[in-house]
């Protein structure tokens, strides 16, 4: 790095920052203004309408619960898959490719796939019926079965979103030379110790990226939920969509959008603080 010109890196990223500002900050300011104004004057009316809506509390709760249920499972599965695939020699690429197929499917299509499995006349019921476990078609995705609905949506989300986490984690694992694990092994560390004390700390940067990305995406969850539960399972983006299209109330929709953004930014900040990456401690 050039130490005598510390401003140089900043100068180099300036164009991209300016570009982002133009295409991101302007609409952002417009949205925030839309949320925090009424008839051209500053007002909290939209926020009040949003907070007073019967679906508001449930959509916040559902979104957070879903994120809380889905993210840890996805990270755990991705770590397991990444570790497994790193032990494989031949056929590694093929396995990675198969595992990333859900990535190539749009989230609405993913929702449809799981709808085909979980709906009344779906594959799950057929299977359970065939095995003699149920006597007639069971509804999983209704207002009366919130737990089943939640689990169904969580599974669909895990299925759809784990691959992206895994790709990031595999990239992180590839950066860790095998000698570190080998040295630990020679000095008496078992597989579990090696994972916790060597591998995990060394893939911190990848883990941080994966967590941030996954969390932001989790708060934006919509299409899968919409396909499986409609408004039986209200989530934040779903509410924004409903206010925008059904109620034609752009102000309240904007209020939801701002809320989602604030939550995402806060989560990112938390990760940056908790999963700290100290460049001094990297290979």
Closest CA to 195 of 214, 213, 169, 221: 169
- Both tokens of 88, joined, read 């494989």
User: Residue 185 or residue 220: which is nearer to other proteins going by CB?
Assistant: 185
User: Residue 201 or residue 230: which is nearer to other proteins going by CB?
Assistant: 201
Distance CA 238, CA 58 (A): 12
- Both tokens of 90, joined, read 């031949």
The residues that touch other proteins, with contacts defined as CB under 8 A, are: 177, 179-180, 182-190, 193, 198, 201-202, 204, 279-283
Dihedral, CA of residue 255, residue 257, residue 262 and residue 265, to nearest 10: -170
Closest CA to 218 of 165, 145, 279, 273: 165
Closest CA to 229 of 121, 157, 159, 150: 150
Which run of H or E residues covers position 37? Answer: strand 37-38
- 96 near 89, Cβ under 8 Å? no
User: At its nearest, how many Å lie between other proteins and the CB of residue 92?
Assistant: 17
User: Residue 198 or residue 236: which is nearer to other proteins going by CB?
Assistant: 198
User: At its nearest, how many Å lie between other proteins and the CB of residue 188?
Assistant: 4
Distance CA 168, CA 78 (A): 9
User: At its nearest, how many Å lie between other proteins and the CB of residue 214?
Assistant: 23
User: Residue 47 or residue 189: which is nearer to other proteins going by CB?
Assistant: 189
User: At its nearest, how many Å lie between other proteins and the CB of residue 198?
Assistant: 7
Give me Rg for the CA atoms of the chain. Answer: 23
User: At its nearest, how many Å lie between other proteins and the CB of residue 139?
Assistant: 51
User: Residue 91 or residue 188: which is nearer to other proteins going by CB?
Assistant: 188
Distance CA 128, CA 107 (A): 26
User: At its nearest, how many Å lie between other proteins and the CB of residue 171?
Assistant: 18
User: At its nearest, how many Å lie between other proteins and the CB of residue 271?
Assistant: 18
User: Residue 52 or residue 188: which is nearer to other proteins going by CB?
Assistant: 188
- Both tokens of 161, joined, read 């979103």
Closest CA to 66 of 186, 147, 187: 147
User: Residue 27 or residue 177: which is nearer to other proteins going by CB?
Assistant: 177
């Amino acid at each position: 790095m050039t130490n005598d010109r510390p401003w140089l890196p900043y100068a180099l990223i300036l164009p991209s920052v300016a570009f982002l500002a133009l295409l991101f900050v302007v609409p952002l300011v417009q949205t925030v203004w839309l949320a925090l104004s009424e008839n051209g004057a500053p007002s909290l009316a939209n926020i009040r309408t949003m907070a007073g809506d019967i679906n508001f509390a449930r959509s916040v709760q559902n979104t957070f619960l879903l994120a809380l249920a889905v993210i840890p499972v996805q990270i755990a599965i991705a770590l397991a898959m990444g570790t497994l695939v790193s032990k494989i020699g031949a056929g590694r690429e093929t396995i990675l490719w198969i595992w990333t197929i859900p990535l190539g499917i749009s989230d609405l299509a993913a929702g449809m796939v799981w709808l085909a499995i979980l709906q009344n006349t779906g594959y799950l019921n057929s299977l359970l019926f065939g095995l003699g476990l149920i006597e007639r078609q069971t509804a999983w995705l209704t207002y009366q079965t919130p737990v089943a609905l939640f689990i169904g949506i969580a599974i669909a989300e895990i299925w759809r979103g784990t691959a992206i986490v895994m790709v990031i984690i595999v990239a992180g694992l590839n950066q860790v030379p095998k000698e570190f694990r080998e040295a630990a092994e020679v000095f008496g560390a078992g597989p579990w110790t090696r994972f916790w004390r060597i591998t995990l700390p060394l893939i911190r940067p990848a883990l941080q990226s994966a967590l941030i990305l996954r969390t932001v995406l989790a708060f934006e969850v919509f299409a899968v939920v919409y396909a499986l539960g409609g408004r039986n399972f209200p989530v934040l983006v779903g509410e924004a969509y409903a206010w925008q299209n059904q109620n034609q109330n752009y102000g309240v929709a904007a209020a939801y959008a701002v809320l989602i953004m604030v939550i995402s930014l806060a989560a990112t900040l938390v990760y940056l603080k908790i999963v700290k990456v100290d460049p001094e401690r990297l290979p």
